[in-house]
Amino acid sequence: MPPATKRSRSRGGGAGGLEYISLDGLRIDGRRPTEVRKIRCSLGALSRADGSAYYEQGNTRVLVAVYGPREPHSRASIQHDRAVVKCEFSTAMFASPVYRRTWKGDRKSTAAALVMQKAFEGVILTASYPKSQIDIYVQVLQNDGGALVAAINAASLALVNAGVAMSDFVVACSVGFVDDTFVVDPSSLESASDRPELTLAVLSHSAKIASCQLDSKLPDGESFERALEFATSGANQIFKVLEYEVRKYSLNLLDSRGLVAL
Amino acid sequence: MPKVENGAAPVGLQFGKEMGTLALPGEEIGKLVDTTPPHGLQSPQDQKRAVVRLGSGVTQRGSSLLSSKAGKVCFDGRRNKTWVENNQKRYVPALEDMVIGVVEERHSEDVRLDINGTDTATLSSLAFEGATKKNRPHLDIGSLIYCRITRASKNMEAEASCIEPGSNKSWVGGEALYGELKGGNVIQVSLGLARSLLVPNGPVLTTLGAKIPFQSAVGVNGRVWIQSSSTEHTVLLSIAIAKADTMPADEWKAFVKKMLEQAT
Amino acid sequence: MDQEVFQKVHPREYLARFLNKDVRPDGRSLTKARRVNITVSSIATAVGSAMLKMGKTTAVAGVHATLVQPAPGAPDQGILDVAVELLPMASPNYKSGRSSEEAICLTEYLRSLISPHINMSKLCVEAGLLVWQLRLTVYCVDNDGNLEDAILLAGVAAMRNVLLPSVRIIGEEVDEGRDAQMVEVKTENEEGEGEAESIIAVATVERTNSLEIDTYPLPISFILFDGKVLIDPSVAEESVCDSRITFLFRPTGELRGVLKPGGKNVPENLYQSCLTMAKERIPKLQAKLEAT
């Protein structure tokens, strides 16, 4: 799509506008409000990284690589009693229909990187790896909404692939609000700059919250708790998929190690 | 509450997960149970037996034991030790591990070895059986050393030694278990493959050894050293073992068959 | 610390040991190139894209299109920007931050080989008013050697995959329908005063216009080590080679260029072996590209 300056479509439901939820209660892409998009992922996609994962959630695609624990890049960042976790979030030049510079330093990317760093610092057993550094590199290849969510989920897989010890498994999900309805895992069409969107990262086993962000105010009469409920249910759906993938991957590994007779 | 230390059927530990099943980070694999008898008195032997050893991939929260990695839950009854076995590329030194190190730096009294971990390990040039100040091995940069980890702490650099307890084979003769690996070839594999190569009569080494006689040393840090009578064989064996890391079992078997036919 | 430390300390000896037995550390013969896999159109947000794997070396190329005013000196020519990025995930040796020298060199390499084959006038919508600006970016996500060939092939595949919508400039605003999308291009007022004018165009949602690239470069690279030639080097082999030589062919099989950036001199007989091997490989490579 030629992006120059797009004419904005009229937003919201009602006469003359785009209908986000049909009369049957289905969203534009046919999903129910509580349904997460289809997830496809694979561990160990890259050969040089210590751990990696390729992850698709609907049309959003990300690639995450983990290096470490390894020697810190700069003497200044060494912590004597734990590992330092660093995250970089980068979006490909062609990842969204709207042209955006790939310069990693752009505000949204820096914010996303910080959210991820904090979330994973909380689960990685950093005390097990003093004086070292763990790097998480995210590259968004295609962004159809929920890029941060995809990045967090892919990073969990990549960390597992790298064998980095963690106290739990982080899983993320976002919730949007269209046509007076909460919708889980909004696509880019369903997210807009003026809409509220909640991005939640939870620890799968202890159910604790690793990170929670709400962009924009929730409409009057809608509770934060309800939004959180939706996000948590979405995260549980996603966890089931990721857990299955990790088990499948680990089983394949054990089989091919020659641990079963050749 | 039984004492728990890292680095002793399970005593003081009740498994929630079946042995050999897969666990994810954060999953509870078992609970520590109090083995103190009702009258409160426990003999020193019982206390000792009740020590539960936590290996790699297991972390403790209160009385719960959680997995910190994605892998297979394992238990060793002799040492009352539980751990989660996974596969990864990076090595984290543990006491008593047998590893292959590469000499990176030489100092007057010791050398620094790269052991495929975050940090290096130190090996004293006197840590060889029968070595004295006047008679000790000369270790060049790039030498391969088969050695044992004698100190592994996350806070300090690891220490290695080439002394085999209970053996008095001098380092000079080349008969000692540990020491410099001369000649041959070394390759880097995943930690999982290295561990499986250490299983006695494992399929990979047996299949290869059936046709070509060779010597090998396997380090749990993912390094494998191979030496056979001809360089050609050494090279082919290196490739075959490296491929075992990426090829599924059937494909590997076919690959090796073809390779062995073309070789001799 | 990179995995192959032994190689790091005695890298030449390590490789020589294998080559003396006519085999390479990854099991290939000296004359065998790695399998190339190309997938196109995988990124829906790009007007053209290609994901390429050459063994484990992986490059992701995408083209992004914008409608802009043409440059004053070239009113009927479109604009092509090319960039190569070596991502830190691709190798333990890549650090983040400003583009490394290697990335800058690869960018120039790619640009100089691709630009001549793109007909810029095809990118013109209306002379003097509206042209397409294409941005080709190739990301290297996994470096196992021979990046030059991988990024060039990925770039070529992505450009060949480009499909642009049809655009016409209209006088006034119309309702957007299912088939069309409105595009407003703000023009720069030369005097810099007053309101900027806009050009309103409508673009079809369907994209059917290819760039009609009729010819493109096909690269085959070799390295020389101790008097032996190795096709399609891995990263370990590249690090110890004596010199590197790249042959560029047209899809018809004609040789159109040879690149040998410094390094040891190449004797005539080795040069000929490389050329022969390259000529043999070209049809396979071309078939892979044409299949996309």
Confidence of residue A194 (pLDDT cuts 50, 70, 90): confident
Which stretches of chain B sit within 8 Å of chain A by CB? 22, 24-28, 57, 59, 61, 66, 68-72, 86-90, 92, 118-119, 154-155, 191-193, 195-197, 199, 202-204, 207, 244, 247-249, 252-253
Summarised one tens digit per residue, pLDDT across range C81-110 is: 999 999 999 999 888 777 789 999 999 999
Nearest by Cα to A54 from A67, A46, A65, A63: A63
Give percent of chain C above pLDDT 70: 88
The whole-chain average pLDDT of chain A stands at 86
Residue the block writes with tokens 């995995």: C3
Are C181 and C93 contained in the same domain? yes
Q: What is the ipTM of this complex?
A: 0.90
Token duo for residue C50: 């290609």
CATH code for position C2:
3.30.230.70
Q: Which chains touch C (3 or more CB pairs under 8 A)?
A: A, B
Q: Please give the structure tokens belonging to residue B122.
A: 């130190």
The pLDDT, as a whole number, for residue A101 is 43
Whether residue A258 and residue B57 make contact (CB cut-off 8 A), yes or no, is: no
The kind and range of the H/E element at C112 are helix C101-114
Q: Is the pLDDT of residue A262 over 60?
A: no
From chain C, the residues in CB contact with A139 under 8 A are 87, 89, 139, 141
Residues B231, B235, B240, B241: is their CA dihedral positive or negative?
positive
pLDDT at C7 > cutoff 50 = yes
Percent of chain A with pLDDT over 70: 87
Looking at the complex, report in whole angstroms how far the Cα of residue A99 sits from the nearest Cα belonging to chain C: 8
**Nearest-by-CA chain A residue for C236:** A48
How many helices (DSSP H) and strands (DSSP E) are in chain A? 3, 10
* Residue C54 tokens, joined: 């050459």
Instruction: Tell me the nearest-neighbour CA distance from A241 into chain C, angstroms.
Output: 23
Does C142 touch chain A if contact means CB atoms closer than 8 Å?
A: yes
CATH of residue A114: 3.30.230.70
Q: Which of C160, C178, C212 is the last residue of a domain?
A: C212
| pLDDT level of residue C191 (50, 70, 90 thresholds) | low
C21-49: pLDDT as tens digits: 899 998 899 999 999 999 999 999 999 99
Q: Is the pLDDT of residue A133 over 90?
A: yes
Is residue A142 one of the residues assigned to a domain?
yes
Same domain flag for C172 and C206: yes
Instruction: Answer yes or no: do C51 and C158 share one domain.
Output: yes
Instruction: Name chain B's partners: 3 or more CB pairs within 8 A.
Output: A, C
Nearest to B72 among A80, A127, A254 (CB): A254
Q: Could you tell me if C71 and C145 lie in one domain?
A: yes
Rounded distance, CA B84 to CA B70, Å? 8
Tell me which of A159-173, B142-156, C17-31, C177-191 is least confident: C177-191
Q: Which residue has the higher pLDDT, C292 or B49?
A: C292
Instruction: Specify if A148 maps to a domain.
Output: yes
Rounded mean pLDDT, C2-30: 78
In the DSSP assignment, the letter for residue C90 is G
E strand map for chain A? 5-6, 39-43, 51-57, 60-70, 84-91, 133-142, 170-178, 181-184, 197-203, 209-215
Final residue before a domain boundary, out of C212, C247, C267: C212
For residue B208, how far is the Cα from the chain centroid? Answer: 22
Contact A168, A204 (CB under 8 A): yes
Chain A and chain B share a number of CB contacts under 8 A equal to: 118
Per-residue model confidence (pLDDT) at position A149? 98
Q: Cβ of A10 under 8 Å from any chain C Cβ? A: no
Give the pLDDT confidence of C214-226 residue by residue, as tens digits: 899 999 999 999 9
A119 found inside a domain: yes
**Residue A3 covered by a domain:** no
* pLDDT < 50 regions, chain B: 1-8
Give φ, ψ of C148 to 5 degrees.
Answer: -55, -50
Range of weakest confidence among A94-98, A202-206, B167-171:
B167-171
Q: What is the CA radius of gyration of chain B?
A: 21
Phi, psi of A85 (to 5 degrees): -105, 125
Split into its structural domains, chain A has a count of 1
Report the alpha-carbon distance of residue A258 to residue B248 in Å, rounded: 9
The tokens describing B146, both together, are: 């088969």
Q: Which domains does chain B have, with CATH numbers?
A: 4-85 (2.40.50.100), 98-181 (2.40.50.140), 185-263 (3.30.1370.10)
Q: What's residue A11's pLDDT?
A: 35
Sort strands C79-86 and C130-142 into parallel, antiparallel or unpaired: parallel
Residue B119: the pLDDT is: 87
| Same structural domain, C64 and C182 | yes
- C184 and C40 in a common domain: yes
- Is the predicted pLDDT of residue A44 greater than 90, yes or no? yes
Domain span holding position A163: 39-256
In angstroms, the separation between the Cα of residue C17 and the nearest Cα of chain B is: 8
In a domain, A83, yes or no: yes
Give yes or no for a contact between B229 and B213, defined as CB atoms under 8 angstroms apart: yes
CA dihedral over A184, A185, A187, A188, signed as positive or negative: positive
Whether C148 and C195 map to the same domain: the answer is yes
Residues 22-51 of C with CB under 8 A from B: 23, 25-27
Instruction: Give the DSSP H or E segment for A241.
Output: helix A224-254
Residue A135 falls within a domain, yes or no? yes
Q: For residue C119, what pLDDT band results from cuts at 50, 70 and 90?
A: very high
Strands A84-91 and A170-178: unpaired
pLDDT at A100 over 60: no
Residue ending a domain, among C212, C233, C254, is C212
Q: Is C100 in the same domain as C162?
A: yes
Residues of chain C with pLDDT > 90: what percent? Answer: 65
Token couple for C74 = 């070239």
The Cα-based distances of A121 to A82, A115, A166 in angstroms read 10, 10, 9
Contact A141 C43 (CB under 8 A): yes
Asked if C245 and C180 sit in the same domain, the reply is no
Mean pLDDT of chain C: 88
- The predicted model scores a pTM of 0.91
Average pLDDT over residues A228-256: 90
**Residue whose pair of structure tokens reads 């079809």 in the numeric block:** C204
Confirm or reject contact between C146 and chain A (CB < 8 A): no
Helix (H, G, I), strand (E, B), or coil: what is residue C267? Answer: coil
Alpha-carbon span B146 to B183, nearest angstrom: 13
Q: What is the largest CA-CA distance in chain A?
A: 67
Residue B183 pLDDT: 86
Task: Report pLDDT for C175.
Answer: 61
Instruction: Answer yes or no: do C202 and C266 share one domain.
Output: no
Q: Which residue segment(s) compose the domain that C269 sits in?
A: 1-30+217-292
Which chain C residues are Cβ-neighbours of A49 within 8 angstroms? 89, 142
pLDDT score of C180 more than 70 = no
CB of C92 less than 8 A from some CB of B: no
The answer as to whether A19 is a domain residue is no
Per-residue H/E/C for chain B: CCCEEECCCCCCEEECCCCCCEECCCCEEEEECCCCCCCCCCCHHHHHHCCEEECCCEEEECCEEEECCCEEEEEECCCCEEEEECCCCCCCCCCCCEEEEEEEEECCCEEEEECCCCCCEEEECCCCCCCCCCCCCCCCCCCEEEEEEEEEECCEEEEEECCCCCCCCCCCCCCCCCEEECCCEEEECCHHHHHHHCCCCCHHHHHHHHHCCEEEEEECCCEEEEEECCHHHHHHHHHHHHHCCCCCHHHHHHHHHHHHHHHC
The conformational region for residue C164 under phi > 0 = left, psi -120 to 50 = alpha, else beta, is: beta
Query: Which chains have 3+ CB pairs within 8 A of A?
Result: B, C
Query: Do C208 and C127 lie in a common domain?
Result: yes
Number of domains in chain C: 2
